[in-house]
Structure 1
Amino acid sequence: MKLIKSYFIIIFFTLFTTPFFGQVKGIGLPDVRNYKRNEYKGGTQNWNIGQDKNGNLYFANNNGLLQFDGSSWRKYPLPNLTSVRCLKIDDSGKIYVGGYNEFGYFQPNEKGKLKYTSLAKRVDKSKIKIIDFIWKIHTLNNQTIFQSFARAYIFKDGKLTILKAPKRFQFSFVVSNKLYFQDIEKGILEYRNGKLYALPNTTSLNNTEVWGMYALNKNKTLIITLEKGLFIYENNTVKPWNTEANNFVKKNNSLGGVTIKNNFIVLNSVLDGIAICDFDGKIIQHINRKKGLQNNTVLTSFIDNKNNLWLGLDNGIAFINEGSPFTYFGFSYDISTVYASVIHQGNLYVATNQGVFYHAWNGSFKEDTFKLVEGTTAQSWNVQIIDNELICSNNRGALVIKGGRVTNTIDSKGYFGFKNIPNRPGFFIGSNYDGFAIFQKTSAGLIYKNQVIGFDKSSNSFELDKSFLWLKKDESIYRMSLSNDLTTFSSIKKIDRLTPQYKNIGSIQKIDNQLYFQTNNHFYKYSQEQDLFYEDKNLSKLFKNIPNINALSEDSQSNLWYAFDESIGVLMKRNKYYTNIVAPFSNLTGNLVNNYLSVNTIDSKNIFIGLTDGLAHYDSELLNNYVTKPKAFIRSFSFPGDTIVLGNNQNKIENIRIPYSSNHVRFTFSSPTYENLENVEFSYQLEPFDDKWSNWSTISIKEYTNLREGDYKMNVKVRNSYGIQSEPSTLLFTVSPPWYRHFLALIIYFVLIIIGIYVISNRIKMKIRKNKYYETIEQRRLYLEKESKIRQEQYDLEKEIEKLKNDKLQIKILAKDKELVNNSLQVVKKNKILNGIIHKLKEIDVEALDDSTKFQVSKLNKSIVKEVNTDKSWKDLEKHIKNVHFEFLKRLKEKYPTISPRELDLSTYLLMNMSTKEIAEIMNISTGGVELARYRLRKKLGLNKKENLIGFLMSI
C-alpha cells in the first residue's frame, strides 16, 4: 500500500474541480436551514433574491432590502418605507429594486455604504399619478426594465422611457436573452426594439397568471401558471405538460421557480413547499414543512454561486444545501438513531434504537417513510445477511426477518452481531449479553447450537482468525481459543498492551481479510508462532497524519473508514492508492453514534452512514464545487465618527487616515460561505500591533483601543467547516499623530526651544548681574539681621530676668499671704477664745463682789470687748484667702458663671478643709446654715449624692 499526500489531493480536487452539471439527489433530503424574521430583523414575506459578485445575498422583503454576508444581516428601507417586491443586480454592482410607487437602485458610495438613488422621481407625476407595484426587474442589452401592471419603465443611458401595457401586464420573464410580457388580453408578448410582438396562440393563457417561463431546449419553453398547471410552448402552440410535476402544480398552485444548471426545475408552490423535477417532469425531490421548511408557501427561489437553493417564504427564508453530496433520512422518514444498514432483496434495512425499519431500495424516496419490521420494536444493534438470511441482533434476541416481519426468534438473549467461523463452514458465532453463542446453518435455516462456556463478557467489537477469537473490551483485548466441539473456550488471555511503548488498544479490524490491532494509529499483526505483535509499517504510514482513531472499518469497495473524536474520515482506494478525505464529513461531526461506526457502501454513489438522528446518504462521485476555497472580507471598519463598509462591490478604498482622537477602531468580518455557518471561523492579525495571528474563533468582531500613531495593516482569513482556509484579506490604514506630536508641531517645538535658549541665556546673564547686586544687598541685610537678632536676644534676656524677678516676688507675696492667712486664722481662734471669756465674765455675779473687784472685772470685760471689736483680722483673712486662691476662684467662676460670691467663699473654705463649725463661725451662720449652703452649692455644681464635694473642688 502506497501513501499519497492525501491532503494535497483532496484540496486539489475540491478547489479546482468545477461542476459540469447541476445535480439533485433523489435519495434522502438535503440539509435545510431556516432563518426566522427575528434573525434577519425584517418583514415576513420575501419576494425575490439576488447575489452580488462578492457572494453577498439580497432579499426583497416587506420591510425593505435585506443583505446577508454570512455573518450579519443589514436592512435598507425604501424612502417611502414600502415593501420591496423585486430586485436585480447588474454587472456593475448596482442593486435595482422595486416597490409600491418607488423604484431605483442601491449603490455603494465612496465609503462603501449602500445609498439609494430613486428613478421613480423621473416619472412625470402630472401624467402618471400612481406607479403601482413594480413586480419584475430585468437587465437586458444595457437596459433595465421595471415592470408594473400598467406599464414598463425602461432605464437606459441615464434616461427613462415608458412602455404601456396593451391592456394590463401580469408578469414578465427573460428566456434565452429574450424579454416576454404576459398581457391579460394579448397573451404573451415578446419585447423587441422598443415594441411588443404577440406570440401566436398564447391567448389561451389569458384566464390564468403566468409565474414562470423557462427554456427546456432551443425550441421548447416551459410555462408555469398559478393554478392551471404547466404548459409547453413549442412550434407556436401551447399544450399541457402532462407530467408528475404538472400534477403537483395543479394540486398546490405555483408561484414560479428557478432552473438548476439547465438540468432541473424548482417549482415553488403555495400549499406544499417546493418540488424539484427534471426536464422530463419527473419529481426528484419534494421539500415541505414536514421535511424541514418553516413555511409551505414559497414566494421565490434562487440558486446561488455554489448551486445551493435559497427560498423566499411567505414567512421567513430557507437555505437548502443542494450542492452537498450528502442527503439525510431523519425524523420525516420516521427513523432515529441508526446502528447499521444493509440492502437485502430489494429493500434497505436500518437497525435503530426503536427497531428495524425498511424501505424499498428501487422505489421513490420522495413521499413515503420507512416502515417498521414487525416484531423488532426494541434496541436493534445490528442487521446482517448471514448465508442469505437477514438476521437482526436485537435486545429481544437473534431475529430472522422476512417479508417485513420477524419470522423466527433463534435465541431470546440480546445480541450485538454475528460472524462466520473460519474453517468451519456453516457455523457462525454471535456476541450476546452473556458472552458468545454458536449457530449452525441447516436446511431449515439458521439454528441455535449452544452457549460457549467459560467467558461471559460481551462487546460488539470482536473478530476471528484461523486460531483465535479476539474481543476488544474497554481498552484491552481478549484472545480466546474455541474447543473443537465449539462448546467451551479452551484458553483465555487478557492483553493490555501490544508493545511496551503503547499501553491501550484502540480497535481491532480486518483489512483485506487480515486481522489488525490498532493503537495510537500504529497497526499490528499477531504471529502465533512467535507469540508476539509486529507492526505493519505501510499501513501505519497511511495514518501518520491522521488524528488518533477509535474505530476502523473496510467497506465493500476496499475503502477504509475511520472514526476519530466525534468525526469520521475515509481513505478512498483508487488503483491501489489511498486518498484521505476528511473535509466533506465535517458536517457529520457530533452526530455519529458513539462506538458504532456504521458505514454501508453499496457502490461509489450510494454510501450510507449511521447517525444519532437518522441516516446520511453520501455520493462520492457527485461533481460539485461544494468544498471550495472560501473568501474572507473585512466587512466594516469603524472608528468614532465614521464607518467604512467594504465588500459591497465598490472600488478598493485606499489611504484611510483617521485622527488620533479616533484611535479606537472596530472591525467586522464576513465570509459569503453559507454551509454550516456555525463552524465558520476567523483569524486576524493587526500589524505591527499583533505579533502573531489570533486563535480561530467564530466571533466576527474585533476592537482595538488606544492605538498609537502609525501605519497599520489588518489581515483576516476565514476557515470554513471543511477546514479549508482562505487567502488573507487586508486593509491598510493610518492613525495620525496627535497635534502635539505632528511634524509641524515638532518644527514649532524646535523653533521655540531655540528662542527659549536665547531668552534664557540673556535672562541668565541678567540674573548673574542682579545676583551680584543682590548678594551685596543680602550681605548687608544679613549683617543688620544678625545685629538686630543680637539686640533682640539681649532684650529678651532682660525681659526674662525681669520676669524671673516678678515671679520670685510673686512667690514671696504668696508666701506672705499664706502666712497672713495662718496668722489671721490664729487671730480668729483668739477672738473665739476671748468671746468665750466674755461669756464667762457675764456669768459672774458682780453684785456679790466688792467694788474694787467689781471694777476690775468690769474693766477687764470692757478691755476684752474692745479688743474683739477693734480686731480687723477677719477682713484681712478674707482678702488674703482670695489672693491665695485667686486662680481657683477664677476657674470656678468661668466654669459656673451663676455661682454667687457667698458660694465662692464657701467653696474656698471647703477647699481649705475647714470644718462645718469653723465655716459657721467665719461666715457668721449656724451649722445648719452651712449644711444648707453646701446642698445648694452641690446642686449648682450638678453633683449627685455619691460624688464628694471637696474632691470635686480640688479637681478644678
Structure 2
Amino acid sequence: MGIFCQVKSIGTPNVKNYKRTEYKGGTQNWSIDQDKKGNIYFANNSGLIQFDGSTWRKYSLPNNTAIRSLKIDESGRIFVGGNNEFGYFKAGEKGELKYYSLSKLISIKDGKDINLIWRIHIFKQEVIFQSFTKALFYKNNKIRVLNAPKKFQFSFVVRNRLYFQDKELGILEYKVQKLYPLKATKVLNDKEIWAMFPLANDKILLATLEKGLFIYDFNSVKEWNTHANDFIKKNTSLGGAIIKNKFIVLNSVLNGIIICDLDGKIIQHLNRQKGLQNNTILTSFVDNKNNLWLGLDNGITFINENSPFTYFDYSYNIGTVYASVLHQNNLYVATNQGLFYHSWNTSFADEPFNRVEGTIAQAWNIQVINNVLLCSSNSGALVIENNKVSKILDTKGYFGFKPITKHPEYAIGENYNGFSIFKITSNKAEFVNQVQGFDETTSTFEVELDNDYVWLKKNPYLYQMELSDDLKKFESIKKHTQISAVNKGIESLQLINNKIYFQTKNHFYRFSTDQNDFFEDRKMSSLFKNIPVINTVIQDSKGNLWYSFHQSIGVLEKKDNEKFVRKETAFSNLTGNLVNNYISINRIDSKNIFIGLTDGLTHYDATIPNTFITKPTAFIASFSFPSDTIITGNLKTIDKLFNLSYSDNHVKFTFSSPVFENQENVTYSYKLEPFEDTWRSWSPISIKEYTNLREGNYTMKLRTRNSFGVLSEIDQVKFTISPPWYRHFLAYLIYLLLIAVGIYVISNRIKLKIRKNKYYETIEQRRLYLEKESKIRQEQHELEKEIEKLKNDKLQIKILAKDKELVNNSLQVVKKNKTLNTIISKLKDIDTNILDDSTKSEFNKLHKSIIKEVNTDKSWKDLEKHIKNVHFDFLKRLKEKYPTISPRELDLSTYLLMNMSTKEIAEIMNISNGGVELARYRLRKKLGLNKKENLIGFLMGI
C-alpha cells in the first residue's frame, strides 16, 4: 500500500453511492471499519453489514437492535455495541460470523443502565465499550466497569491517549484506571464534542456539534477561525476522520462533508449536488488505500480520494467536452451545450462553470490564435471577449482553425462545407473568404498544414490540397487511398514537432516534396512499437505524446533526456468515457491536465505518484454445495481440504476482491483443476457453478484484475469428492468377493451340468433315433399321399379331358338339335293341303318323329349336371369366397376353368360372343381383378 495521499482542490473525486436496496439493511450507518483482508463493515440500524467488493452480508444482534459502534482488532474479531448489548462477531469453522455476547459478563447491577454503546476503542490491549453512563473495559474474557463521574458524551483516542468528555467536568484523560480532568476544558460543557484530531505542536482540534471547531493546547481552548469553522458552524458537525495526518474530513448534518488541510483551508466540498445521495453524514472512515467511506443518514457512499483524477460533471453545468483551453485566467470548455468558463484563480470547490453569453449551440472547439479566443460552433466562427461573443466571423458551422505557416496573420477554418480564410492579428479577427475548389462536408476529419499543402483526412481518403498564394482557392487536389504499399489504410494525421505525420498501424510516415512520395520515419514508429494499435496522437505543450486506442488513452511522457516513458495503466479508468474522434488533451502544467469526457471533464495531476495503483487481492468468498456453505472469505486460511460426498457434486463458488475504486471494471478469471486446463476469460461475473462432477481431487483457482489491469495473486480452495457407493473402494472389494464366489458356484454348477448332460445325452440320442425313425415314417406317408395326389391329379386331368370331349359331343348334339329345329320350322311353312293323303300322312309322321327326337334329347342337361358334379368343390369355394356371385356367373367360371373358347361358351350359354365378353368383364369386376390380372389363372388358383 502506498503512503502517499493527495486530496485535490480541482474537481470532485469519483463517488459511488450504495442504496439500502443494495446492501439490504437499514437507512442509518453509524460506524465503519475494515479488516485485514480489506472487507468493509458498517454499524447499521439493522445490524452488522459486511461488504467484500462483490457481496453484501448482514448479521444481527440477538435482540435485533441497531448497532451504533464497531471496531476490529488484530485477530479479526469484530466488536460491536448496541442498545444494552455488546460483544463481538467471529468467524466459525465454516466461515459464518457468529456473535458472542459480552454483556453477560457484567453483573445485573452494572448492566441496568448501559443503554447505547456509542464508541468502541482498542487501547493498550483492552477493548473499551463506551456509553453515556459507563465505560466497559474487556480483557481476558473479563469486564471491568468505569462509571461516568456525571455523564459521558463521547470518547476518543488521540496520539495513543484516551479521552472522555464529561457533561460537567470537561475533557477527562484516562490513565492507570482513573480519569483526570484536563485544564480549561469545562468551557466545552455546553458543547458536544464529536471528534478530536491531532494537530502540530501537540495541539488537538475539537469538532463540536453546533458550536464549531476549537483548538486545545492543553492550556486553553480557542476557536479555530478558519473557512472550515465557518462551514461547520453553519451546517453542524457529526465528527469526521483524518487522512494521513494531512487532511481532515468533517461530517455535517446539513451539507455533506468538507475536506480541509491542517490550516483549515477547505480543499474539497462534497454534498448532494456533487454526487452524494444524502447531505447528513453520520460517520466517515479512511480505508487502507486512503479512500473515504461515508455512513449516511440514508445509505453508504464510497469516495475515491486516492486518485490523480477528479471530475467536472453535470453538477458543474457541463456535458460532453470536445476541447478546453486556459486564456486570460479563465478555463474555457467547449461542450455539446455551448461554451462554458470558470475562473482559474478562484476555488472550484462550490462554483459551477458559467455559460459564455451567446453560446447555446454545439461547440466543437475553443482555441487561442494570435491572442484571439476563437470558438468553433454550430452557430459559426465566434470571437470570445470578456466571457461573451463579441463577434460572429461567419455564420456557417465550424469545427476548428489552423494557422497558415506561410501567412502568420492568417488562419484557415474548416466548416461544414469546406474551408474559409480568416485574418487574425493581435486582439482582432475577421472573415476573408471561402476557399474555392473543395466544398464537401467534413464531419469526421483531421486537418494539418505544412509549408506546401493543406492535408485533410476524411475516411477513407487523404486529400493533399495546394492553397493558392492569394488564399482564395485550391490550385490542386490530390486524393490518396494509402500511404504505404505494405501497411494499408490511413489511421490518423497529426502535427508533431511542427512536422506532419501520417500514421497507420503504428507506423508513422512523412511526405517528401522532392520525391513526391511518403516515407516512414522509423524513429517515430519505434516509439509506438509495443503499443496497441492507436487511433489518434496528440502532442501537448511539453512534447508528451498522447495516444488513443480501444476507447482508452495512454501517454509517452517526454523526459529531460529526450526519452519517453510510457503510461497507460493510470488512464484505464477513463476507458469508454472518452469522446471518440474528438480526443481532447489540455496540458496547462504537470499538475493540471484536462481531458474531455462524454459526461464532463477530468482533471489529471501527473505529479501524484502511481502508488494509488496497488495489487488487488482475490478471494474465493464462498464455497457452496447442496448440504452446506463455507464462507471461505471469512476464514483466516483455507488450506483445509474439504471432503464432499458424491451427492454434493454440484458446487458453487462466489468471488470477491475488496477493490472499491472503479469496482465495475474489476474482472475475474478462474479454473477448476483438473476439470479445466486453461484459465477462463476475464469476466465481471463473480459467481460460478459446476454440476455433476466426478469423484476425485479438485483445486479451484481464482485471480482478479483491477481497473488498472493489475493482476492479483492466486487464491485457491481444495476439495475432494468421494465416489458413489457403487464406485467406492470397499464396493470394488465386495465386487471381487462376489466374482470369486460366483466363479466357484458357477464352476460347481458346470461340473454338475456336465454329469447331467452325459446322462441326458444317451436319452437324447435315443429320442433323436426314435424321432428320426418317426420322421422317416412320416416322410413315407407323405410320399404315399403325394403319389395318391398325383394319381388323383392325373385322374382329374382325364376327367377334364372327358368333360371336354363330352362337352364337344354335347355341342354336336346341340348343333343337331338346332338343325332339327330349323327343319321343323321350315316344315311348318309347307302347306300340307296340297299333298295327297298318303304323302301328307308320311309328312306328319316325319314331322312328329323329328320333334320327338328333339324333345327326348337330354344330353345337354346331363352334361350340365355332370360338369357341376365334377367341379363341385371349385364352385363351393368360389361361392364361399364371393357370396354375391350369381349362378350364371358360376357357370361362366366353370366354362372358363375348363378352358373353353368364347365361341363355345356362347353356344352353350346361348348368347353372342359380345355377351360372353360382357359377362367376363362383369365377373372380373365382381372378383376384384384389375386389367393386368389373368382371369383363368385366378380361377385355377381358387
- Give the TM bin, normalised by the shorter chain: 0.7 to 0.9
**Contact 2:370 2:427 survives alignment (8 Å):** no
Equivalent residue number for residue 316 of structure 1: 299
Alignment of 1:713-862 (within 5 A): 713-779=699-765
- On the 8 A contact 1:52/1:649 being kept in 2, the answer is no
| Superimposed CA distance per residue, residues 340-367 of structure 1 (whole angstroms, 9 cap, x where no aligned partner) | 1111111111111222111110110011
Q: 1:669 Cα deviation (Å)?
A: 1.0
8 Å CA contact retained: 1:103, 1:119 = yes
Identity among equivalent positions (%) equals 63
Alpha-carbon distance in structure 2 between the residues aligned to 1:551 and 1:458: 21
Which amino acid in structure 1 is aligned with residue 619 of structure 2? Answer: F
Structure 1 distance, partners of 2:363, 2:449, is 23
Q: Tell me which amino acid in the other structure corresponds to 2:230.
A: N
Deviation at 1:462, TM superposition (A): 0.8
Amino acid at match of 1:661: S
User: Matches of 1:521 and 1:360 in 2, distance apart?
Assistant: 39
Partners of 2:299 and 2:282 lie apart in 1 by 10
Q: 1:480 aligns with which of 465, 475, 484?
A: 465
1:97-144 superposed Cα distances (whole Å, 9 cap, x missing partner)? 111121111111122221111111222225523431111111111111
The correspondence for 1:567, drawn from 543, 552, 555, is: 552
CA distance 1:741–1:199, shift in 2 (3 Å): same
- Paired letter, 1:636: S
Please tell me whether the aligned partners of residues 168 and 185 of structure 1 are also in contact (alpha carbons under 8 angstroms). Answer: yes
Deviation at 1:567, TM superposition (A): 1.7
Q: CA deviation at 1:799?
A: 15
Q: Secondary structure at the match of 1:539?
A: helix
2: distance between equivalents of 1:797 and 1:88? Answer: 114
Query: Is the 2:290–2:306 contact (alpha carbons within 8 Å) kept by the matching residues of 1?
Result: yes
Q: TM-score, normalised by structure 1?
A: 0.80
Contact 1:19 1:623 in 2 (8 A): no
Query: Are 2:274 and 1:291 equivalent residues in the alignment?
Result: yes
Instruction: State which drifts further: 341-350 or 586-595.
Output: 586-595
Matches within 5 A, 1:353-502: 353-442=336-425, 445-459=428-442, 461-502=446-487
The 5 Å alignment of 1:522-537 reads: 522-537=507-522
Give 2:530's aligned amino acid.
N
**Which one is further off, 786-795 or 397-406?**
786-795
Distance (Å, rounded) in 1 between the aligned partners of 2:452 and 2:57? 68
- SS at 1:696 equivalent: coil
DSSP-derived class of the 1:145 partner: strand
Total equivalences in the alignment:
800
Q: Which residue of 1 aligns with 2:199?
A: 216
The alpha-carbon deviation at position 458 of structure 1 amounts to 4.8
User: How far apart, in 1, do the equivalents of 2:484 and 2:597 lie?
Assistant: 34
CA displacement, residues 422-473 of structure 1 (integer Å, 9 cap, x when unaligned):
1323222222223222222457722222222211235452111111111111
Aligned to 1:307: 290
Mapped partners of 1:38, 1:644: distance in 2: 25
SS state of the match for residue 426, structure 1? strand
> Which residue is 1:6 aligned to?
none
Task: Could you tell me which runs of 5 or more consecutive residues in structure 1 were left unpaired when the two chains were aligned.
Answer: 1-17, 801-883, 889-910, 914-950, 952-956
Task: Report the Cα offset of residue 791 of structure 1.
Answer: 10
Give the distance between the partners of 1:178 and 1:766, measured in 2 at CA. 99
Instruction: Quote the offset at 1:409 in angstroms.
Output: 2.1
Residue 164 in structure 1 maps to residue 136 in structure 2? no
Flag the 1:660–1:442 CA change in 2: closer, same or farther, 3 A. Answer: closer
Structure 1 partner of 2:39:
56
Contact preservation (8 Å) 2:492, 2:537: yes
The Cα of 1:780 is off from its aligned counterpart by 5.3
SS in 2 for 1:721: coil
Q: Which amino acid aligns with 1:456?
A: D
**572, 588, 606: which one aligns with 1:602:** 588
Aligned equivalent of 1:22? 5
Q: Distance in 2 between matches of 1:798 and 1:222?
A: 136
Shift in CA distance, 443/314, structure 1 to aligned 2, threshold 3 Å: closer
Is 1:698 the counterpart of 2:684? The answer is: yes
CA shift for structure 1 position 28: 0.3
Deviation at 1:75, TM superposition (A): 0.8
Which one is further off, 434-443 or 73-82? Answer: 434-443
Deviates more, 1:645-654 or 1:491-500: 645-654
Q: Residues 22-54 of structure 1: CA distance to partner in whole angstroms, max 9, x if unpaired? A: 210000001111101111111111111111111
Q: Residues 81, 787 of structure 1: CA spacing in aligned structure 2 closer, same or farther, 3 A cutoff?
A: farther
Q: What letter corresponds to residue 537 of structure 1 in structure 2? A: R
In structure 1, the residue matched to 2:55 is: 72
CA shift digits 1:710-729 (9 cap, x unpaired): 11111111111121111221
Structure 1 position 556 matched with structure 2 position 544: no
**Letter of the structure 2 residue corresponding to residue 406 of structure 1:** V
Q: 2-side partners of 1:784 and 1:178: how far apart?
A: 121
1:510-525, aligned counterparts within 5 Å?
A: 510-525=495-510
* TM-score using structure 2 length: 0.81
Distance 1:263 1:797, change over 3 A: same
Look up the match of 2:652: 666
Residues 49, 296 of structure 1: CA spacing in aligned structure 2 closer, same or farther, 3 A cutoff?
same
The residue number in structure 1 matching 2:242 is 259
Counterpart for residue 273 of structure 1? 256
Output the CA distance in 2 between the equivalents of 1:101 and 1:195: 24
* 2:545 is the counterpart of 1:545: no
Paired residue type of 1:24: V
Question: Which of 566-575 and 463-472 deviates more?
Answer: 566-575
The secondary structure found in structure 2 opposite 1:647 is helix
Question: 2:309 corresponds to which letter in structure 1?
Answer: F
Report the Cα distance in structure 2 between the residues aligned to 1:63 and 1:786, rounded to whole angstroms: 99
Between the aligned partners of 2:188 and 2:763, the Cα distance in structure 1 is 121
**1:436–1:458: 8 Å Cα contact kept in structure 2?**
no
Distance 1:505 1:651, change over 3 A: closer
Residue 310 of structure 2 corresponds to which residue in structure 1?
Answer: 327
Q: CA RMSD in A?
A: 2.9
What is the CA distance between 1:480 and its match in structure 2?
1.1
Q: Which structure 2 residue ranges, 5 or more long, are not aligned?
A: 787-871, 877-885, 889-925, 927-942
Pick closer, same or farther for the CA change 1:443–1:78 going to 2, 3 Å.
closer
Give the distance between the partners of 1:654 and 1:783, measured in 2 at CA. Answer: 79
Q: Distance in 1 between matches of 2:264 and 2:566?
A: 39
Quick one: distance in 2 between partners of 1:444 and 1:276? 41
Please tell me whether the aligned partners of residues 20 and 623 of structure 1 are also in contact (alpha carbons under 8 angstroms). no
- 5, 16, 20: which one aligns with 1:33: 16
Check the 8 A contact 2:370/2:426 in 1, yes or no. no
**Corresponding residue number in structure 2 for 1:139:** 122
1:269–1:428 Cα change, 3 Å: same
Which residue is equivalent to 1:928? Answer: none
Are the aligned partners of 1:111 and 1:653 in contact in 2 as well (CA < 8 Å)? Answer: no
User: Is the 1:552–1:597 Cα contact (8 Å) retained in structure 2?
Assistant: no
| Residue 526 to residue 788, structure 1, CA distance change in 2 (3 Å) | same
Q: 1:563 to 1:740 in 2, by over 3 A?
A: same
How many Å separate the matches in 1 of 2:655 and 2:107?
A: 44
SS in 1 for 2:543: coil
Question: Matched residues in 2 for 1:639 and 1:741: separation?
Answer: 21
Measured after TM superposition, the shift of residue 912 of structure 1 is 11
- Between 1 and 2, higher relative CO (CA 8 Å, sep ≥ 6) is seen in 1
Structure 1 residue 792, shift from structure 2 partner: 11
AA aligned opposite 2:469 = N
Structure 2 residue corresponding to 1:689, chosen from 652, 672, 675: 675
* Residue identity opposite 2:682 in structure 1: W
Q: Work out the CA distance in 2 between the residues paired with 1:102 and 1:236.
A: 38
